[in-house]
Amino acid sequence: MTTNVLMFYLFSSVIILFALLSIFTRRILRAAVYLLFVLVATAGLYFMMQYQFLAAVQLALYAGGIVVLIIFSILLTHHIDHKFENPRLVNVLLGCGIAIGGTLLAIPVIRSFPFKAHDIAPLDPSMQTIGNQLLETGKNGYALPFEVISVLLLASMIAAIVIAKKGK
């Protein structure tokens, strides 16, 4: 049990540390890499909860997909010497004020929620269960969101092709 707690704090501190670093760094590609560490550590948390499917989705979609796309676009558009300028003092103070205010607002709300360990039997997240849920139309089914997202992706794909064609 103590090893679990230790691992949890390890992953959480990695997440918080690199999340802060990715905001405060002034080189854009480093920010993307710090974001990668945050996402991988989140996947580690899922692995710790023995929910391997979500962890693998996290790795494949966020770490292997979105971060790669971000890095790709940085590679195409930015030069290595490029650094962001330090923001103006007014903006820094304003941003800090809003962040602290938001935290002060959020913490009491989170603490007022009674978190307790539930005693529902764990669901087996096997391939069959996930596949059935994904195409289920009844309760807890994901058939409608699945189809809506498919249509949305198709629309954006067609739009991307139209933009890339440049009216030839």
Partner 1 sequence: MAFSIYDFSSFTRSIDQGLNQVMSPGWAVFTELAIIGLVFILFYAVAGLYLVYAERKVCAFMQNRLGPNRVGIYGLMQTLADAIKLFMKELIPIKKSDKFLFHLAPYIVTIAAFMSLAAIPFAKGLHAIDFNIGVFYVMAVSSIGVIGVLLAGWSSNSKYSLIGAMRSGAQIISYELSVGFSLLTIVIFSGTMQFSGIVESQANGWWIFKGHIPAVISFIVFLISSTAEINRGPFDLAEAESELTAGFHTEYSGIRFAFFYLAEYINMFIVSAIGATVFLGGWMPLHIGGWEGFNHAMDFVPPIIWFFGKTCLLIFLIMQFKWTFPRLRIDQLLTLEWKYLLPINLVNIVIVAFLVLMGWYFK
Q: Does 17 bind partner 1 (CB under 8 A)?
A: no
Q: Does 127 bind partner 1 (CB under 8 A)?
A: yes
- Pairwise CA distance, residues 143 & 128, whole Å: 15
C-beta closer to partner 1: residue 65 or 145: 65
Please identify which residue in 125, 133, 136, 142 interacts with partner 1, judged by CB under 8 A.
125
- Pairwise CA distance, residues 126 & 55, whole Å: 14
Both tokens of 92, joined, read 């820094």
Please identify which residue in 36, 38, 41, 45 interacts with partner 1, judged by CB under 8 A.
36
**x/- letters, 53..92, toward partner 1 (CB under 8 A):** x--xx-xx--xxx-xx--xx-xxx---xx-----------
Q: What ranges make up the beta strands (E) of the chain?
A: none
Tell me which residue of 21, 167, 10, 133 sits closest to 29, measured CA to CA. 21
Count residues contacting partner 1 (CB under 8 A)?
30
At 117, phi and psi to the nearest 5? -65, 125
Binding segment for partner 1 among 89-97, 124-132, 134-142, 154-162 (CB under 8 A)? 124-132
Tell me which residue of 42, 40, 41, 18 sits closest to 30, measured CA to CA. 18
- Pairwise CA distance, residues 168 & 165, whole Å: 6
**Residue 59 near residue 43 (C-beta atoms within 8 A):** yes
Least distance from partner 1 to the Cβ atom of residue 167, Å = 22
Least distance from partner 1 to the Cβ atom of residue 54, Å = 10
Residues forming contacts to partner 1 in the complex (CB under 8 A) are 2-3, 27, 29-30, 33, 36, 40, 52-53, 56-57, 59-60, 63-65, 67-68, 71-72, 74-76, 80-81, 125-128
